[in-house]
C-alpha cells in the first residue's frame, strides 16, 4: 500500500508512474488527498478540544476550592460539551479514515523507473538467455503427459477421481523425484544463508491483506468460509507475515527465510492447451525465498536473488531465459519483477518457473513492518522481496521432456544424490 504522505507530496508523480501499469489513478489520488486533509482538520480540532478539556478539568477542582461554584459549574458544563464534541469528531474521524483506507488499497505499487511500458507479455524485456537457437521438435519428442503415461509417473485421471482436474497423483520414482527437487531447492537456499521455516498452510485475512493477496486476489484463493481462513497460494504469504507488526533493528538486515509448501490456486478462467498436464495446476509444490531488507540495499539484494535462482536452473541443466516484466504484466504489489522461463523442447514453448520481485515498502506499509537505526530517531518502512526457488510443476515438465531418451528420462547430475537413481524408466 502506498503511503498517504507519498501521495500527498508527489501526486503527479504517482499518477504518471501508475500509467506504466496501465492504471488511471488520478481520481483516487486526489480524492485520497481530500480525505487526508479532512482527516488532519478533524484530528487538529479534536486535539484542541482535548487540550481545552484537560485544562478545564484541572481548573474545576481549584474553582470549587476557592468558592467559585458558579464558575466551576460553568466549566463543568463546558467540559461536558467538549466531551460530546470530541466523541462526534472521533466518529467522523473513524469514517474519514475508513474511506481513506479504502481508496489507498485500490492503488497498485509504483513500478520501478526501469520498468518498460507495455500491456501484455509480448512487451516484456529479455534480460538474458542461455538458449538462443530454439529448434523445432523434429525428433518426435513426447510431451510430459505422454511420457508420464508411458512410464507410469503421474496419474492425472486418478487426481480427477480423487479431487478434480489440476490435482495430479505422483507415483513411484516420480514421487521420489518430487521430494528430491524440494530437498535440492531447500539445500541450495540454506547454503546461501536462508533460514528454513515450515509455516502453516492456511492464513487469516490479516495475512492475506499484509502481502497484497486481499482484497486483490480473493477470487484466486481457496477459502474455508466457516473459519474464514485461506489456503496459501504461495509460501510468500505466511513467511512474510512472520514480520507483520515487527520493528527490526538495522543490524538485523538482511532477514532471509526459505520455505517449502504445497500451494493452492483456483486458477479461475484457465482453459485450453496451456493447462495440459503440469502446465497449470490447482495444487503444486514450491520452495520460496523471502528477504526483508534495508531500502538502500533492496535492489542489490534483488539481483543476488536473481543470480541464486539462475544458479539452480543452471545446475538442472535446463535452457532458460530471464524476462523483466513490463508494467501491464506486473502484479498489483510489485515494483520490479523478473520472470524465469525454461524451454520445453517437446511442447516448443517457454514455461514460467519463477518470479523474483522487489515490493519496496508496499507490503511493509500494509504489514506495519519497520526498522530502527540506533543513530536516528523514529522508525522507517523496510523493503520486502521474494522469489520462487523454485516452483516444481513446469521444472518437472521440462526435465521430463528435455531429457528423454529411448531408454528413459535421464536425471541431471545435481539431483542424483537426492534421487538415488540416474534414469526414470
What's the pLDDT score for residue 166?
96
Q: What is the pLDDT of residue 136?
A: 87
Cβ 396 vs Cβ 143: under 8 Å? no
CATH code given to domain 4-104: 1.10.287.40
Query: Computed from CA positions of residues 112, 116, 121, 126, in that sequence, does the dihedral angle turn out positive or negative?
Result: negative
**Tens digit of each residue's pLDDT (9 = 90 or more) over 37-70:** 999 999 999 999 999 999 998 898 888 878 888 8
| Domain extents in the chain | 4-104, 121-424
Residue 137 binned pLDDT confidence (cut-offs 50, 70, 90):
confident
Please, are residues 364 and 163 in contact by the beta-carbon 8 Å criterion?
no
- Checking if the pLDDT of 271 tops 70, the result is no
Q: Which of helix, strand or coil describes residue 48?
A: helix
Q: Which residues contact 103 (CB under 8 A, 6 or more apart)?
A: 28, 31, 32, 35
Output the pLDDT for position 270: 62
Angle formed at CA 269 by CA 267 and CA 272, multiple of 5 degrees: 100
- Which pLDDT does position 147 carry in this prediction? 97
Model pLDDT for residues 107-127, shown as the tens digit of each residue: 999 999 999 999 999 999 999
Residues of the chain with pLDDT > 90, as a percent, come to: 88
| Inter-CA distances, 49 with 36, 45, 80, 100, 424, Å | 20, 6, 11, 23, 77
CA atoms within 13 A on the CB side of 203: 28
What average pLDDT does range 386-409 have in this prediction?
A: 97
Give the class (CATH, top level) of 121-424. Answer: alpha beta
Give mean pLDDT, residues 408-414: 98
Phi, psi dihedrals of residue 147, rounded to the nearest 5°: -65, -40
Bridge-based pairing state of the strands 202-203 and 229-231: antiparallel
Distances (CA, A) of 19 to 25, 40, 113, 117, 313: 8, 29, 12, 8, 34
In the chain, helix, strand, coil percent, each to 5? 45, 20, 35
What is the average per-residue pLDDT within 367-383?
A: 95
Mean pLDDT of 267-293: 87
DSSP annotation of 184 reads H
pLDDT at site 381:
98
Residue 275: the pLDDT is 81
Residue 269: the pLDDT is 60
Lowest-pLDDT choice from 54-58, 206-210, 211-215: 54-58
Q: What is the pLDDT of residue 284?
A: 98
pLDDT of residue 76: 87
Amino acid at each position: 500500500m502506498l503511503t498517504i504522505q507519498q501521495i500527498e507530496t508527489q501526486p503527479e508523480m504517482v499518477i504518471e508512474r501508475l500509467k506504466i501499469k496501465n492504471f488511471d489513478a488520478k481520481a483516487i489520488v486526489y480524492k485520497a488527498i481530500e480525505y487526508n486533509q479532512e482527516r488532519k482538520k478533524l484530528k487538529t480540532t479534536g486535539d484542541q478540544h482535548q487540550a481545552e478539556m484537560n485544562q478545564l478539568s484541572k481548573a474545576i477542582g481549584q474553582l470549587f476550592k476557592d468558592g467559585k461554584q458558579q464558575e466551576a459549574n460553568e466549566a463543568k458544563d463546558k467540559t461536558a460539551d467538549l466531551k460530546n464534541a470530541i466523541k462526534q469528531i472521533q466518529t467522523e474521524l473513524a469514517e474519514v479514515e475508513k474511506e481513506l483506507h479504502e481508496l489507498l488499497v485500490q492503488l497498485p505499487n509504483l513500478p520501478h523507473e526501469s520498468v518498460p511500458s507495455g500491456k501484455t507479455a509480448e512487451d516484456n524485456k529479455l534480460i538474458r538467455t542461455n538458449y538462443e537457437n530454439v529448434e523445432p521438435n523434429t525428433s518426435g519428442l513426447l510431451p510430459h503427459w505422454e511420457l508420464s503415461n508411458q512410464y507410469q509417473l503421474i496419474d492425472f485421471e486418478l487426481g480427477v477421481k480423487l479431487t478434480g482436474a489440476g490435482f495430479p497423483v505422483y507415483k513411484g520414482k516420480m514421487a521420489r523425484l518430487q521430494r528430491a527437487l524440494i530437498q535440492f531447492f531447500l539445500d541450495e537456499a540454506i547454503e546461501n544463508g536462508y533460514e528454513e521455516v515450515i509455516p502453516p498452510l492456511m492464513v487469516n485475512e490479516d495475512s492475506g491483506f499484509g502481502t497484497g493477496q486481499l482484497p486483490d486476489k480473493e477470487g484466486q484463493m481457496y477459502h474455508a468460509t466457516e473459519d474464514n481462513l485461506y489456503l496459501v497460494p504461495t509460501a510468500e504469504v505466511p513467511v512474510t507475515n512472520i514480520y507483520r507488526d515487527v520493528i527490526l533493528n538495522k543490524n538485523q538486515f538482511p532477514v532471509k527465510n526459505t520455505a517449502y509448501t504445497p500451494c493452492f490456486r483456483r486458477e479461475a478462467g484457465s482453459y485450453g492447451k496451456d493447462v495440459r498436464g503440469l502446465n497449470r495446476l490447482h495444487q503444486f509444490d514450491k520452495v520460496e525465498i523471502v528477504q526483508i531488507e534495508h531500502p538502500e540495499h533492496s535492489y542489490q539484494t534483488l539481483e543476488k536473488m536473481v543470480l541464486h535462482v539462475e544458479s539452480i536452473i543452471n545446475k538442472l541443466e535446463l535452457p532458460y531465459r530471464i524476462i523483466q516484466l513490463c508494467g501491464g504484466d506486473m502484479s498489483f504489489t510489485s515494483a520490479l519483477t523478473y520472470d524465469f522461463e525454461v524451454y520445453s523442447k517437446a511442447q516448443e514453448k517457454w514455461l514460467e518457473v519463477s518470479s523474483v520481485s522487489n515490493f519496496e515498502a508496499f507490503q511493509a506499509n500494509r504489514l506495519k513492518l519497520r526498522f530502527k537505526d540506533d543513530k536516528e530517531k523514529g522508525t522507517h518502512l523496510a523493503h520486502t522481496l521474494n522469489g520462487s526457488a523454485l516452483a516444481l510443476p513446469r521444472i518437472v515438465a521440462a526435465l521430463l521432456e528435455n531429457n528423454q531418451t529411448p531408454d528413459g528420462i535421464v536425471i541431471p547430475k545435481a539431483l542424483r544424490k537426492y534421487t538415488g537413481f540416474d534414469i526414470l524408466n
